Homo-oligomer: A and B are copies of this chain.
Amino acid sequence: MKNTATRDKLIDSGAQLISQQGYNATGINAVLKTCGVPKGSFYHYFSSKEDFGLAVIERFATTYDETLVSLLEDSDTPPLERLKRYFAAGREHMHECDHATGCLIGNLGQELSGQSDTFRDALNLVFQRWEQRFVRCLQDAQARGDIATHTAPEALASFILTGWEGAILRAKTLKSVEPMEQFETILFQQVLARPSP
Contact = CB atoms under 8 A, between A and B. Distances in A.
Nearest to A157: B182
Copy number of this protein in the oligomer? 2
A32 interface: no
Given A110-B110, A151-B190, A190-B191, A115 B166 contact: no
A156 B191 contact: no
A182 B162 contact: yes
A9 interface: no
Nearest to A125: B173
A90 interface: no
Contacts of A191: 186, 190-191
Given A182-B162, A186-B191, A175 B120 contact: yes
Interface residues of A, number: 48
B185 A155 contact: yes
A172 interface: yes
Interface of A: 20-22, 24-25, 100-102, 106-107, 109-111, 113-115, 120, 123-124, 127, 151, 155-156, 158-159, 161-167, 169-170, 172-175, 178-179, 182-183, 185-186, 189-191, 193
